[in-house]
Chains A and B, each alone.
Chain A
């Protein structure tokens, strides 16, 4: 795919690199790259890949631009609040580089559409904020034989690893199984705004290397970054022969929608927000234990709730046991489920999990409560 005169001017600094040159820039022009998640990671990755002349760039996200996104999602600006991220992001990319063909996918990635979407691309970048979607992307890339550059972030820490079919371990080799709620996400735990800037830029770097075939891709190596200590570390990761998707006898042969939440273990009561609301209106006084972090609790909580962040819960379980059957509460129901499991192990007989957490409470019972 030859370069035009204007492209030669635009990419002059790339053409000056012997490792890229005209042949590499033509490969970039022919490349079709999909970015799943137009968030903190997807923003810098998309900007740099558009600027670099990646010929076709897809942006997939079903969310809308919220003011709390702008602290780190540099693809958007204040004039775009409320707009669909996929289309707003593509507008910005097209303005940055009109030579690039941008495609907005304002949809949620599901097993039902992943084949159709991925068929349009040669390389996928994972910048999503749900583990269930991470596994869907990984499994689809393995099954459809697409290279994948995966990154993830939490507070001040980030991870990066690349996958090329047949050449190394996949994301499921790295972490065979995880469900949302085991780990607090950025909305729950907070994130340093510039952190995804570092990781998303590294994702774009890997994408350019994979497209042009230069350098040593991050295959079979997990790169970790700790922004507070300014420390990069690297860990060798081997392919698992028993990997459920890329192993020798795979049990996952079709992309599927993983449950986004862990099933409740025996002994845990599932308490819907409407049921809790009725209990409180009847004058009952269940022991409410909010296991969110300090800032989340300070922003808004249920009246009378005892505040014990999940990390401080184990030594205080005896105190809870002496006060009755607890109802554990968090933002969306994941950490509170972990608290229920801890309570069961501490012989608290009937812990309850507030299903959907404070988000469900705000959506269904009291919209005035502020949930971080």
Chain B
């Protein structure tokens, strides 16, 4: 299954500035694994050592929030990676 992943601005240094990438997977965990292959290090910025979504990150599949990495991802979905911003 192919999906689009929209990348939060603070993580775009991992994607060479790309705002969105195509990734593969049937679950959020697989999609992030696919993303990690192309952008080494990006998964660790979102997921901690215990496999939990970091508390300053939110992940959405389309408009629904995904609280677990087991969340289902379907062909054509968009995964949104949202990161707390500090600038004012």
CB <8 Å contact, B19 and A154: no
- B41 engages A152 (CB within 8 Å): no
The secondary-structure label for the interface of chain A is mixed
Say whether A185 faces chain B, with CB atoms less than 8 Å apart.
yes
* A21, CB-defined interface residue at 8 Å: no
Digitize B19-36: 1 where CB-to-A-CB distance is under 8 Å, 0 elsewhere: 100000000000000000
Q: How far is A234 from B64 in the complex, measured between Cα atoms in Å?
A: 11
Q: State whether A176 and B88 are in contact (beta carbons under 8 Å apart), knowing that A156-B9, A315-B40 are contacts in the complex.
A: no
B58-A175 in contact (CB<8A): yes
Question: For the complex, what is the distance from the CA of A39 to the CA of B85, rounded to whole Å?
Answer: 15
Min Cβ gap A268→B in Å is 15
The verdict on A178 contacting B55 (CB below 8 Å), with A226-B19, A309-B13 known, is yes
Query: Which one of B14, B44, B83, B88 lies within 8 Å of A183 (CB-CB)?
Result: B83
Report the Cα distance A345→B11, complex, angstroms: 19
Q: Pick the residue among B41, B65, B84 that contacts A236 (CB under 8 A).
A: B65
Q: Which residues of A contact B12 (CB under 8 A)?
A: 155, 311
Q: How many residues of B contact A (CB 8 A)?
A: 27
Closest to A345 in B: B44
Query: In the complex, are the beta carbons of A154 and B9 less than 8 A apart?
Result: yes
* Chain B residue nearest to A229 in the complex (CB): B19
Contact with B along A204-243 (1 / 0, CB 8 A): 0000000000000000001010101100011111100000
Confirm or deny: A314 has a beta carbon within 8 angstroms of a beta carbon on chain B.
Answer: yes
Chain A residues near B41: list those with CB within 8 A: 311, 313-315, 342
In the complex where A152-B88, A311-B13, A345-B44 touch, is A183 in contact with B56 (Cβ < 8 A)? yes
Tell me if A153 and B56 are in contact (CB < 8 A): no
Would you call A129 and B87 a contact (CB within 8 A)? yes
Closest chain A residue to B83 by CB distance? A183
- Shortest distance in angstroms between B20's beta carbon and chain A's nearest beta carbon? 9
- Bound-complex Cα distance A40 to B88 (A): 6
B44–A175 touching, CB < 8 Å: no
A342 touches B44 (CB 8 A): yes
From A154, A175, A311, contact of B87 by CB (8 A): A154
* Chain A residue with Cβ nearest B36: A314
Known interface pairs A129-B86, A228-B19. Does A178 touch B44 (Cβ–Cβ under 8 Å)?
no
Query: 1/0 contact trace for A152-167 toward B, CB 8 Å?
Result: 1111111100000000
B63 within 8 A of A: yes
Instruction: Point out the residue from B14, B56, B65, B86 that lies within 8 Å of A235, measured CB to CB.
Output: B65
Q: In the docked arrangement, what's the CA distance between A290 and B61, Å?
A: 35
| In the complex, chain B residues whose CB is within 8 Å of the CB of A186 | 87-88
Which of B60, B65, B84, B87: most chain A Cβ within 10 A?
B87
State A293–B12 Cα separation when bound (angstroms). 12
**Chain B residue nearest in CB terms to A184:** B10
- With A154-B86, A235-B80, A237-B65 as known contacts, state yes or no: A183 contacts B40, CB within 8 Å: no
A-B contact pairs, 13 of them (CB 8 A): A42-B88, A134-B86, A151-B88, A152-B88, A154-B87, A155-B12, A157-B9, A158-B85, A176-B55, A177-B55, A235-B63, A235-B80, A237-B58
- Besides the known contacts A315-B40, A315-B41, 5 further A-B residue pairs in the complex with CB atoms under 8 A apart: A131-B84, A158-B85, A174-B58, A178-B55, A183-B86
B binding-site residues for A, Cβ under 8 Å: 8-14, 19, 40-41, 44, 55-58, 60, 63-65, 80, 82-88
> Which 9 residue pairs are nearest across A and B when measured between Cβ atoms?
A311-B13, A314-B41, A178-B56, A157-B9, A152-B85, A186-B87, A177-B55, A129-B88, A176-B55
